[in-house]
Structure 1
Amino acid sequence: MSTLTTGAGRPVITAWSAVSSYGIGRAAFAEGLREQRRTVADLGPEHGETPDGTGCVVPGFDIREVLGKKGTRSMDRVTGLTVTAVGALLDDGDRNRAVGTGEGAAFALGTTTGSAQSMMDFTRDSLTGEQPFFVDPARFPNTVMNCAAGQSAIWYQLKGPNATIAGGRTAGLHALNYSRRLLGSGRARTVLCGAAEEFSQARAWLERRSGDEGDASPGAPLGEGCAMLLVEPHDPDDAAQPVLAELVAVELGVVLDKDTRPALVSCLRSALRRAGVEADEVVAVARSGAPGREGRGEADAVAEVFGEGGPADLTPSGLIGDTGAAAAAFQAAALLSYAADRPEAAAVRIGVITSVDRTGTVGCALLGLR
């Protein structure tokens, strides 16, 4: 059992929520994981023509029904998912809204490109219209990568720093690291940290064309959603602060030789060494479950560092699909759900997130689970 103790000023996660193919909210996500329920389903015509006609999408998600008609006429899907996830977190307890909004409340969102569908649709309209400028100007903000973060800040009065960080499947880890730096430098009082990805026709075809040709081990069906964490410095004098996990370490790296395994092994061992944690103290690992050789390298790296049959495998991609940029945030949510289902008084258990992306980025995070 780890001897880690939560100290003053260390970043801690005090709340979380998710919008996933299990539905809206923390309870729906935790229940789906608990039941190990797979969510892949045939898609309706509203999702357009996709390579295989299946996916893991948020059931019945309609932006105007969920968020209301005001301010949502031109809102795209990834923005709607993000705004909904932020609202679900802030509404899950009076304390969350009190500390997570207003002055000093920062927002850090991981993404791949924002909305590929919005970019393609807007570009298509400029090419097929009678004139290139015959486009809907209200939809132009959706083509900008930081649209979802900006809309969330406006919607909920998040007046601290606002950042969108592109990083593919590692984006959630970059957002966590950025959140840690914001808090450590005193530039934010709290940070709403997460990552988002939408399911769309454009993304489905981009993923199909970007995969390894001839790879006999395709990844999970595409998924979507947004997971959000409330991150703040630990305050031992605040008895009302609900510490769910401590952000023990975040380590990021790059692949130089097209082999994911050694790069991730180096990240994991560096993170463990910096944190003073032994590999056998880790109780659970949540991998990104990336498709192709990157995913195989990730699995090999985890086995090399922690041994076969070691920590519990909480990789959620087989259940909620390949959620792209949102993967690491969902992995954090999976670890938090795991800890909540297994309360142990006065114990800190180490959970690990690993992430790899075909662009050559790798990373990991260590959470001290309460």
Structure 2
Amino acid sequence: MIYKYPIHVPADNVARDLNIKGHKSVISNACAAGTNAIGYALDTIRAGKADVVVTGGVDPLTKLSLSGFNSLQALCDGPSSPYSKSDGVNIGEGAAFLILERRDIALKRGATILAEVLDYALSADCYHQTAPDPAGDGALRAMRHVLQQASLSENDISYINGHGTGTPANDSSEPKALRSLLNGHQPPISSTKSMIGHMLGAAGAAEAVTSILAIRDEIIPPTVNFKAEYRAFDFDFVPNHVKKGPLQVVLSNSFAFGGNNATILLQKDQEQAREEKIYQKKRLVISGIGAIAGNAKHKEDVFDLLRNGESGLTEIATFDSTEYGIKHAGIIPDISYRKYMNPSLLRKMDTISRQATVATRMALQDANLKINRRNSERVGVIFATGTGPIETVEEFNRIVISEGAQKANARLFPNTVMNAAAGHIGLNFKLKGPTSTICAGGVSAINALFYANNFIQQDICDQVIVVTSDEFNEPLVAGLHRIPHYLSGNMPMPFDAHSQGHVLGSGSVAFVVESEESAQERDASILAEMTGFGLTCDNSRVARINPTGEEWKRSFELALESADITAHDIDFIASAAGGLWSFDKVEAKALHDLFGTKTPVTAPKSVFGETHGTAGALGILSAILAFQGTLAPIQNLSAKHEAVDLDLIMETREAKNINHALISSFAYGANYNSLVLKRYE
């Protein structure tokens, strides 16, 4: 069960079953996830990182999710009646997937083209963690933006597959947004949730499939259970019965907890290629950093630990860890959170959200980026996590399991979704731009930076805040200690002959990412340039990786190709090694096969422990330190394993000519993301 727990495991299983070895990721923005996943796939193809993507969403029906919605008094006692009676939602379950591919490849292989994905758009309400903006402002911005991206007007829309949950809040706010968008145009609007229920993370994907089939079959699905006497808006909600008619362009909406909005446009195949927009390639830079990790309360503390070869780990005092056989962890010390965020919002946050918000505040200050009405819609947020809010999930579930569904805590439930931290960040800093959440295990940080790059290159955002956060707590330890030889009772010893396993850590790192042009216009200090991404996976079993390191090495090669450099140009490597020899040896082989023995290699996990999705971000900090002239050593390394043939940094080194760095990351379940970072000149 521990192996199956991580949210990325279904994607690992799909990749293994289909023998996929390309880019693999998981979007988890609650009820907007399915739509966002299709949009992410579109961006991945546009970025040249894939030709074909299997994309969609899945969510099972569970007592625990039902208990949560019940605690919010959001469930309907009978069949839901979206856009009419609106007395609650019916929860559904299922999965829906698309094969999204470049049109020329589809034609070459003789595929039947069902529809074209024109574009998608994301926005943030910046209003409330669970309730939509009553005026529908965030939803309206997403819909307007997707039309703008596709160079269409509201009059081009043939049909709208609405979010249509059946709750009073949604059934009021979405029609208001549509009324402002359509400006008198009257396309049919319906809610397929009235028939299949609200499939949560899978809803947007299922509704995209419905929309595609509506285009193909020229059938407009109805809103069943519609009660005309409760109608509040003068729209054609396709009440109770199917309509027939040709459809050219369909707009589909998905809105979620945390104020996340996603809208996608689908079109009937025009039997000719659309002219793709050409964007001038921009140099992508980091202009601000915020960081807390281990016993470091600020980015300067993080740099000091790396620079001085000091440990970020402390003895565990928050709970009795004796039964788990461990003593140390990377535990974030007490922080005066009120200095960093709105006190009225602070009380609604859990640990992972507080950590992320602190790091975000630090990064904004470091970048001297002030959020105001003029720029709030042009600043995006991408949250990345490996663990997710385990502390909150455990606390919420424990109450339901031990005391019953009626005792479910309505205060805790909104923070059990993976994207809750992104919602809190948006509320704290008044950020209304695109927002998304990556939950891809140990590659999450670099994956999120890749996604931010897509936003910047397509001129969707001026800046993107990429923030990672991962917890340390007893539930995490209680689970992971069940895996034989995973946790070490000593300190982490990457690449050491006597390494015994991981020491867990917690941390949060935030980056302000923008184009070089944008940073120069703001007269911002540029800390580094991101020049290449390498994204691969293999089809190993869940929680395993290919022992040959072939796909891991391939991620390095792709990052170098993307950066237009060779292996000889890399001057510094931040490895993903953490002291678990069965995995460290695979990375060591992949690094040696490509870079040989002369490139200095460090391992930040020796300082901060296994920080899961945040690990890659800490590797980036070690690279920025290297650009400043200091190579951080691998700590606790006393006897290099005889199978490791690398230039391991065993003591702090001074170096003046570090121009290119490679950051390596991996996730259990065979996912590899690599980043080439360049010293900015």
Q: Is the TM value for this pair above 0.5?
A: yes
5+ residue gaps in structure 1? Answer: 1-6
Structure 1 residue 263: deviation in Å? Answer: 0.8
Structure 1 residue 24: deviation in Å? Answer: 2.2
Kindly provide the CA deviation profile for residues 279-317 of structure 1, in whole angstroms up to 9, marking residues without a partner as x.
121111111224342232112211221112x22223210
Q: Which of 132, 141, 148 is the equivalent residue of 2:421?
A: 148
5+ residue gaps in structure 2? Answer: 1-279, 489-497, 631-655
Answer yes or no: is the 8 Å Cα contact 1:24–1:88 preserved in 2: no
2 CA distance for matches of 1:368 and 1:294?
Answer: 27
What is the letter of the counterpart of residue 531 of structure 2? Answer: V
Kindly provide the CA deviation profile for residues 19-70 of structure 1, in whole angstroms up to 9, marking residues without a partner as x.
1124222211111111110122211135877722421111224656865743
1:161 is aligned to 434
2 CA distance for matches of 1:90 and 1:111?
Answer: 20
2 CA distance for matches of 1:273 and 1:11?
Answer: 16
1 CA distance for matches of 2:411 and 2:323?
Answer: 27
What is the letter of the counterpart of residue 588 of structure 2? Answer: A
1:104 aligns with 2:378: yes
What is the letter of the counterpart of residue 621 of structure 2? Answer: A
Q: Secondary structure at 1:75's aligned position in 2?
A: coil
What is the letter of the counterpart of residue 628 of structure 2? Answer: A
2 CA distance for matches of 1:256 and 1:262?
Answer: 12
1 CA distance for matches of 2:415 and 2:323?
Answer: 22
1:3 is aligned to none
Answer yes or no: is the 8 Å Cα contact 1:50–1:205 preserved in 2: no
1:248 is aligned to 531
2 CA distance for matches of 1:324 and 1:150?
Answer: 21
1:200 aligns with 2:473: yes
1:306 aligns with 2:595: yes
Structure 1 residue 218: deviation in Å? Answer: 3.3
Q: Which of 411, 435, 439 is the equivalent residue of 1:138?
A: 411
Pair 34,214 (structure 1): closer, same or farther in 2 beyond 3 Å: closer
Structure 1 residue 262: deviation in Å? Answer: 0.8
2 CA distance for matches of 1:9 and 1:242?
Answer: 17
Task: Say which is worse superposed, 161-170 or 33-42, in terms of deviation.
Answer: 33-42
1:4 is aligned to none
Answer yes or no: is the 8 Å Cα contact 1:220–1:318 preserved in 2: no
Pair 302,272 (structure 1): closer, same or farther in 2 beyond 3 Å: same
The TM-score with structure 1 as length reference comes to 0.88
Answer yes or no: is the 8 Å Cα contact 2:342–2:428 preserved in 1: no
Q: Secondary structure at 2:565's aligned position in 1?
A: coil
Task: Say which is worse superposed, 238-247 or 174-183, in terms of deviation.
Answer: 238-247
1:287 aligns with 2:540: no
Q: Which of 355, 364, 368 is the equivalent residue of 2:674?
A: 364
Pair 67,187 (structure 1): closer, same or farther in 2 beyond 3 Å: closer
Structure 1 residue 270: deviation in Å? Answer: 2.2
> How many equivalent residue pairs?
360
Answer yes or no: is the 8 Å Cα contact 2:532–2:561 preserved in 1: no
2 CA distance for matches of 1:65 and 1:360?
Answer: 40
Answer yes or no: is the 8 Å Cα contact 1:12–1:243 preserved in 2: yes
1 CA distance for matches of 2:464 and 2:484?
Answer: 34
Q: Which has the higher contact order (CA 8 A, sep 6+)?
A: 1
Q: Secondary structure at 2:521's aligned position in 1?
A: coil
1 CA distance for matches of 2:340 and 2:503?
Answer: 25
Q: Which of 493, 501, 505 is the equivalent residue of 1:223?
A: 505
Answer yes or no: is the 8 Å Cα contact 1:8–1:235 preserved in 2: no
Answer yes or no: is the 8 Å Cα contact 1:50–1:201 preserved in 2: no
2:614 is aligned to 326
2 CA distance for matches of 1:369 and 1:219?
Answer: 33
2 CA distance for matches of 1:183 and 1:35?
Answer: 35
Task: Say which is worse superposed, 117-126 or 107-116, in terms of deviation.
Answer: 107-116
Q: Which of 349, 352, 368 is the equivalent residue of 2:659?
A: 349
Structure 1 residue 320: deviation in Å? Answer: 1.0
Equivalent pairs: percent with the same residue? 20
2 CA distance for matches of 1:283 and 1:79?
Answer: 35
2 CA distance for matches of 1:69 and 1:229?
Answer: 23
1:235 aligns with 2:509: no
What is the letter of the counterpart of residue 244 of structure 1? Answer: L
Answer yes or no: is the 8 Å Cα contact 1:197–1:225 preserved in 2: yes
Answer yes or no: is the 8 Å Cα contact 1:168–1:357 preserved in 2: yes
Answer yes or no: is the 8 Å Cα contact 2:534–2:555 preserved in 1: yes
Q: Secondary structure at 1:355's aligned position in 2?
A: strand
Answer yes or no: is the 8 Å Cα contact 2:295–2:332 preserved in 1: yes
1 CA distance for matches of 2:522 and 2:339?
Answer: 38
Pair 243,47 (structure 1): closer, same or farther in 2 beyond 3 Å: farther
Pair 84,34 (structure 1): closer, same or farther in 2 beyond 3 Å: same
What is the letter of the counterpart of residue 292 of structure 2? Answer: V
Kindly provide the CA deviation profile for residues 252-287 of structure 1, in whole angstroms up to 9, marking residues without a partner as x.
111225415111111112221332212121111111
Kindly provide the CA deviation profile for residues 118-160 of structure 1, in whole angstroms up to 9, marking residues without a partner as x.
111101101212x412132111112100011110111111211
1 CA distance for matches of 2:301 and 2:484?
Answer: 31
1:75 is aligned to 349
Counterparts in 2 of 1:117-132, with a 5 A limit? 117-129=391-403, 131-132=404-405
1:275 aligns with 2:563: yes
2 CA distance for matches of 1:213 and 1:109?
Answer: 27
What is the letter of the counterpart of residue 368 of structure 1? Answer: K
Kindly provide the CA deviation profile for residues 153-199 of structure 1, in whole angstroms up to 9, marking residues without a partner as x.
11111211111101111001110110011111121111011311010
1:259 is aligned to 546
1 CA distance for matches of 2:380 and 2:436?
Answer: 8
Answer yes or no: is the 8 Å Cα contact 1:195–1:226 preserved in 2: yes
1:114 is aligned to 388
RMSD (Å) for aligned C-alpha atoms: 2.9
2 CA distance for matches of 1:267 and 1:205?
Answer: 33
Decide which structure has the larger Cα Rg and report it: 2
Q: Secondary structure at 1:19's aligned position in 2?
A: strand
